[in-house]
Structure 1
Amino acid sequence: MSVLEENPDSPLKKRPPRWSDIWLKKTKPLKHVVFAMQLQSLASKDPKSQTLIPHFANIDRTLLLSDELLLKILSKLPLSQRNPNSLVCKRWLYLQGRLVRSLKILDWNFLVSGRLITRFPNLAHVDLLNGCLFSPRNSGILLTHRMVSMQMRYGNCSNWELLEENLLPVEVVDGGLQALANGCPNLRRLVVINASELGLLTLAEECLTLQELELHKCNDNVLRGIAACENLQILKLIGNVDGLYCSLVSDVGLTILAQGCKRLVRLELSGCEGSFDGIKAIGQCCLMLEELTICDHRMEDGWLAALSYCENLKTLRLLSCKRIDLDPGPDEYLGFCPSLERLHLQKCQLRSKKSVRALFRVCEAVREVVVLDCWGLDNDMFTFASVCRRVKFLSLEGCSLLTTEGLEATVLSWLDLETLVVVSCKNIKESDISPALATLFCNLKELRWRPDAKSLLSSSLMGTGMGKKGGKFFKRT
């Protein structure tokens, strides 16, 4: 045996050094990387060995998923988990921001600084109402209105003065609208206050998909900008609000609106002035209009006759109106809405018989009538509803002046009536129900009868079949 074979540690037997040995000699982090790669290679060959390697427990396996795939997964989770998911990592925070579609802005700087667009790039619904108001954060006085809620420094001034003092200037609001339009071209719904024509024009040019707009403190000049929103379908205009702010919307603005927004489907006019000409222009130009809501109007006498020009109108709502139309004109000029299906009256003052008579005459084609907490609706007023021969659904709530006799005189003339709801009408007594009215109750598909707290009719009718069309009132024993 040779000397080389007897001495295996001889330097002549050592292999030559490799570049990898020299490179990794003083580089411990790289040694760990190579070691982890070797473990991963072994684990891929033997799945059982993965449980013995604790190094892979801390690896974020969602990094293997693309943003599009992870977005689909996160979108399937319930909304209650949205905030916790955004705290996992920066990537999840960014992806959760892309899932947000609706947002209410409370800090105006968040919008104008560009952080809003960066954080939520896919916004479709934005509410800027409270963001347009600047008020002290630590104030102990809170002013709450049905439209806005804000903190105040002191309470020795009127609400109108307080709002004007804490409302952002028009130029600032327009700047925010421009930033929003540039960052959210797919915006569909917007709520804003104290904007000008220029700001809305910018919004109309950039946001071609804008379909719903709620504009507070609106006037005729602002409506020039709204008219440029050709694809607008839902519009709510708030002109004058008692105790909060005063703004004028007249026939001029309504005519500009009608000529520009011809695709309107739903329109709400709150605290707006106008007359026959303004409503007529809307009816002639907005041929797709199906729902019209008029709240606390200041319109001149005679406007009611213009509703006949809204040929495709299906729903008419009157909310909180102190009057309807004191001088609607002769019957031959009133006309009627041929496609009208629903008439809703809520918190209106029905004092004038001439107004109520004209209203039901214009709405004689309705199939659904809802009267909720309207003052002044007595037997004589309700008799005018007899002209509506196609009514299938009637709901009366809070009509304290109406009696059983007045109800019977009208509903017996409606041969197509299927549903009757009577709630909180204290002068409608069960003891006054006639056999004819009881027979009508038997033929109804649905009956909700609770005119007062002492009413026992609903409970006594259980199991009799009353209130179901075709059911028998008496059972053979």
Structure 2
Amino acid sequence: MRPMRGRGRDRINTYLPDELVVEIFRRLDSKPSRDSCSLVCKRWLGLERLSRTTLRIGATGNPDLFVNLLSRRFVNVRHVHIDERLNISLPVHLGSLARRRGSSSSYSKSEDDGIETHSLSDAGMVALGEGFPKLEKLSLIWCSNVSSVGLTSLADKCRLLKSLDLQGCYVGNQGVAAVGQCCKQLEDLNLRFCEGLTDVCLVELASGVGKSLKSLGIAACVKITDTALEAVGLHCKSLESMSLDAESIHNKGVLAVVRGCPALKVLKLQCINVTDEVLIAVGNCCSSLEFLALYTFQRFTDKGLRAIGNGCKKLKNLTLSDCYFLSDKALESIAIGCKELTHLEVNGCHNIGTLGLESIGKSCPRLTELALLYCQRIGNFALSEIGRGCKFLQVLHLVDCSSIGDEAICSIAKGCRNLKKLHIRRCYEIGNKGVVAIGEHCRSLTDLSLRFCDRVGDEALIAVSQCSSLQYLNVSGCHQIGDAGLIAIARGCAELTYLDVSVLQNLGDMSLAELGEGCPNLKEIVLSHCRQITDVGLNHLVKNCTMLASCHMVYCQGITSAGVATVVSSCPNIKKVLVEKWKVSQRTKRRAGSIISYLCVDL
């Protein structure tokens, strides 16, 4: 890309002011596009840096050094995301610079590759505060070396902070309390897995930012008790979202939040000591509730869900996971009272069966997403009602639902023609007939997963090939599928970007050749345990699939080191290759060692 020139003059740089060029950069929809613009000329490089508002920093390298360097280059950053689970390679020149400066951040050295992996320290937090005083959103994910000292320093400098994620950080009470004292605009706080915190910090924080706080997440903080939640209920009247996973919390604390925060819209609870009394209070007090998720409850009954149905008329999203004492009557109450329901997940609730889901199909016409996981008692007739009553259904997940078969899927296909995503796993009664109906009626399908569905074969994929918008396909473990089905997909689904055909014993090189010809947008492919695929098929695939970024091919006995080298050398965008270690030659390892992963090192 070059600036527009006319009669030897640079029109863009001559006539457009800095402010307009920066605004254009801000409107670019991807980082690669902005990076390309920054290479045009020095002026664009400087202006593009002014347009950057977000930085992401991973674990490998020196986060403290990065913060110092980036704060001088990108002065308008508002969002910083540091995740020490992410492995991002440190450029060579920065690595040598870090060693020369003798950075104080802690680090460890990997025995396999010799790369030094550093952790953000309090010094990095000080640099964050001083370098980005306009910071509004900060995520520190598993930054274990950050303490109250660093967090206190940052809070004092970044008083415009609105969102703070401290997941997995071992910050103490003083740091969180300082946030409450300094960051009066804080709206979103995540304290998941902050194990050292006690009631003291949350009481002080609630009193400090109670007027602004809208979202709070707490998990695995064993020293936080009902006392802290009582402070939240007393001070945080604007709270809209609460996520709570704690064994130390009882009815008293949750009731304080429910009764004190009438604006509550999102409530996620995993608290084994909470009973129906809480749900009754939610039904009575939280008329604005839109999202409710209940996980692993052994003390909730139909009585609690009846209160939700009676009082929460705006409920749109409901998740019930391992709630063993809920029955069909619970879903009937939701169906009758919550006509706005759009998303429903039922996971491992063994007493909920066909009648409960049937009532949803009859009474909730706006349902767009349904997930049934480990629901052995829900049968075909339930999904037949969903097909008749929920015409707007776009997403359906079925996992280990042994009583659901082709009849149900045919009903969904004929009634829910807007279906875009269908994921089925280990539903052994579903075969070709149901999937053929999907291919014939649901032409907007973009995402299909049929994992370990033994009765699905080539006939099903030939029908699905009519869904020309298909982008994601997973048929792992569908043993009846062979070349004929994949060739049909290759010829009919040119937009395919992800394909998993692992454990297909009848799949050969011919299908890979067709995929190479017909699916040039393919970015990820999983070929593991495909015994008939060889280097020949792999060569045909990568010849035209130049966008391929990930290839898994372990336990493919026909693929050799030559095939691995072909993938590495032919795919300029390749980022991950999963293969046995003995199939990687020394030359391939030298050329692309950083992108190769080994499932079984010693084979």
Structure 2 length-normalised TM:
0.51
**Once the two structures are superposed, what CA deviation does each residue of 1:453-474 show, in whole Å capped at 9, x if it has no partner?**
52122234479xxxxxxxxxxx
CA 1:222–1:423 in 2, change beyond 3 Å: closer, same or farther? same
* 1:222 partner SS: helix
* Equivalent of residue 38 in structure 2, options 86, 95, 108: 86
Q: Counterparts of 1:403 and 1:357 in 2: how far apart (Å)?
A: 17
The residue that corresponds to 2:179 in the other structure is 226
**Once the two structures are superposed, what CA deviation does each residue of 1:283-339 show, in whole Å capped at 9, x if it has no partner?**
110111111122x323333233223333323323326x3x44256769998884333
* 1:98 partner SS: helix
Q: Do the aligned partners of 2:217 and 2:242 also contact (CA within 8 Å) in 1?
A: yes
The residue that corresponds to 2:69 in the other structure is 115
Q: Counterparts of 2:390 and 2:260 in 1: how far apart (Å)?
A: 32
The code of the aligned residue for 1:223 comes to: V
CA 1:330–1:103 in 2, change beyond 3 Å: closer, same or farther? closer
Q: Which runs of 5+ in 1 are unaligned?
A: 1-49, 139-149, 156-164, 241-246, 464-477
CA 1:198–1:248 in 2, change beyond 3 Å: closer, same or farther? closer
Q: Do the aligned partners of 1:239 and 1:270 also contact (CA within 8 Å) in 2?
A: yes
CA 1:121–1:334 in 2, change beyond 3 Å: closer, same or farther? closer
* Equivalent of residue 97 in structure 1, options 45, 49, 55: 49
The code of the aligned residue for 2:292 comes to: H
Identity %: 22
Q: Counterparts of 2:148 and 2:215 in 1: how far apart (Å)?
A: 22
RMSD: 4.3
CA 1:428–1:151 in 2, change beyond 3 Å: closer, same or farther? farther
The residue that corresponds to 2:128 in the other structure is 180
The code of the aligned residue for 2:135 comes to: L
Q: Counterparts of 1:81 and 1:334 in 2: how far apart (Å)?
A: 47
The residue that corresponds to 1:265 in the other structure is 214
**Once the two structures are superposed, what CA deviation does each residue of 1:214-249 show, in whole Å capped at 9, x if it has no partner?**
113244333212212111011111235xxxxxx233
Q: Do the aligned partners of 2:218 and 2:246 also contact (CA within 8 Å) in 1?
A: yes
The correspondence of residues 301-316 of structure 1 with structure 2, limited to 5 A, is 301-302=250-251, 303-316=253-266
Question: Taking CA–CA contacts closer than 8 Å with sequence separation of 6 or more, which of the two structures ends up with the larger relative contact order?
Answer: 1
* 2:213 partner SS: coil
Q: Counterparts of 2:196 and 2:332 in 1: how far apart (Å)?
A: 34
Q: Counterparts of 2:315 and 2:13 in 1: how far apart (Å)?
A: 54
Q: Do the aligned partners of 1:307 and 1:362 also contact (CA within 8 Å) in 2?
A: no
The residue that corresponds to 2:249 in the other structure is 300
The code of the aligned residue for 1:390 comes to: G
Q: Do the aligned partners of 2:137 and 2:162 also contact (CA within 8 Å) in 1?
A: yes
- Please state how far the C-alpha of 1:68 moved relative to its aligned partner: 3.0
* 2:412 partner SS: helix
CA 1:339–1:219 in 2, change beyond 3 Å: closer, same or farther? farther
* 2:262 partner SS: coil
- Please state how far the C-alpha of 1:154 moved relative to its aligned partner: 5.7
* 1:227 partner SS: helix
Q: Counterparts of 1:330 and 1:83 in 2: how far apart (Å)?
A: 51
CA 1:445–1:278 in 2, change beyond 3 Å: closer, same or farther? farther
Q: Counterparts of 1:196 and 1:105 in 2: how far apart (Å)?
A: 19
Q: Counterparts of 2:136 and 2:189 in 1: how far apart (Å)?
A: 12
Note if 1:67 corresponds to 2:21: no
The code of the aligned residue for 2:54 comes to: S
* 1:127 partner SS: strand
Which structure's CA Rg is the greater one? Answer: 1
The code of the aligned residue for 2:38 comes to: S
The code of the aligned residue for 2:298 comes to: R
* Equivalent of residue 231 in structure 2, options 266, 276, 281: 281
CA 1:251–1:369 in 2, change beyond 3 Å: closer, same or farther? farther
The residue that corresponds to 2:469 in the other structure is none
Q: Counterparts of 2:12 and 2:390 in 1: how far apart (Å)?
A: 62
The correspondence of residues 96-245 of structure 1 with structure 2, limited to 5 A, is 96-106=48-58, 107-111=62-66, 114-130=68-84, 153=110, 168=119, 173-192=121-140, 193=143, 194-216=145-167, 217=169, 218-228=171-181, 229-240=183-194
**Once the two structures are superposed, what CA deviation does each residue of 1:427-452 show, in whole Å capped at 9, x if it has no partner?**
3223479xxx96x9867674577764
CA 1:459–1:115 in 2, change beyond 3 Å: closer, same or farther? closer
Q: Counterparts of 1:368 and 1:331 in 2: how far apart (Å)?
A: 13
Query: May I ask how many residue pairs the two structures share in their alignment?
Result: 367
- Please state how far the C-alpha of 1:258 moved relative to its aligned partner: 0.8
Structure 1 length-normalised TM:
0.63
Q: Do the aligned partners of 2:34 and 2:48 also contact (CA within 8 Å) in 1?
A: yes
Q: Counterparts of 1:132 and 1:222 in 2: how far apart (Å)?
A: 25
The code of the aligned residue for 1:174 comes to: D
Q: Which runs of 5+ in 2 are unaligned?
A: 1-5, 93-106, 399-403, 418-603
The residue that corresponds to 2:337 in the other structure is 390
Q: Counterparts of 2:84 and 2:208 in 1: how far apart (Å)?
A: 28
